[in-house]
Chain A
Amino acid sequence: MSNTVIVIDDSIFLIKQIVDFFEKQLNFQVVATGNDGNDAVELYKKYKPDLITLDITMPNKDGIEALREILSTDPDAKVLMISAVRGSAMLECMDEGAKGYVEKPLKFNDSEFVKDFKESIKDIFCN
């Protein structure tokens, strides 16, 4: 049975790309998608996926806040941050309990990027 994932990003354009990647390259089942932190928390509680990806800069509720809420309800949640934010945000997310961090831009045409992305997912499920 394939792993399940929820994809959260405020860009529909990027959601399509990420969903495509998880379904075609990783054989994951995308059970839901959402556009802000509120969606993330609600959808996580509803579907309890094997993995949830979170953008950071989103309207209504940002990704770091959503990360905290998800982990408060399920400390074992596997959360992968996918963001263009640089600097201390990455460390902050990892300190909060995120299992991985992928920096945008998402260069799905770049084999090195795809390899690194897949390695990140593998690490999350192996550790």
Chain B
Amino acid sequence: MSLGKRLFVCPDRKAFCMSCTKNLLLPELNSVFSKTAVRCVNDFLGKPAAIHENWCVVDRLVTHYDYILTMGGASQNFQSILAIGVSKDFSEIFGVMDKSEFVDILGEFANTYWALLMDDHVFTKHFGILNQSIPVVYSNGTPFLPFISGVQGKVYIENEFIFLGYAIQKVINCSL
């Protein structure tokens, strides 16, 4: 029986494991991600920021906040996802009350973080430049984030914090 279209499972499942960046680079780059977060708050919000707990390397980014933003990005060699989570109270830090304005600013915050990461020579030495997509914001939801190793942590501003996570892996080429 002909199915017209045939789906192929990537024949080399090992490629996924080999593409995992966790054991190779992410622990080394941990501080790049956290320092970039502090710089992003400084540049974008003009406010001082601090890291109180060490950022950690995880098998998959975990987020559950009132507002969650995800932004994908890719190059020919790598694909990645940025996740940002904040509580509703965070709108006071941004100085806005309107939800659409809050979401807009959160998107620009993500855009800024991405740009500053691409300006970091240590990051680009390993991964090169990845182009970001348009951000997606979820409200009161937990998006299903892919099982890709990443670095995540919190950056504190006044009494609130922003959660940031960045997961990255090599592009997996599966012929269809």
Contacts and interface: CB of A to CB of B under 8 A. Distances in A.
A13 interface: yes
A11 interface: yes
Contacts of B105: 11, 13
B105 to A, nearest CB: 5
B164 to A, nearest CB: 16
Chain B's interface: helix, strand, loop or mixed, by majority?
Answer: helix
A97 to B, nearest CB: 21
A122 interface: no
A79 B143 CA distance: 38
B21 interface: no
A86 B119 contact: yes
B75 to A, nearest CB: 8
Given A13-B101, A86-B115, A104-B115, A57 B129 contact: no
Size range of the interface on A? Answer: 10 to 19
Interface string B33-47: 000000010011010
A26 interface: no
Contacts of A10: 134
Given A86-B129, A87-B129, A104 B101 contact: no
Interface string B113-146: 0111011000000001101111000000000000
A47 to B, nearest CB: 24
Contact of A11 (B104, B114, B128): B104
A57 B111 contact: yes
A12 B112 CA distance: 15
Interface of B: 40, 43-44, 46, 100-101, 104-105, 107-108, 111-112, 114-116, 118-119, 128-129, 131-134
Interface of A: 10-14, 57-59, 84-89, 103-105, 107, 109
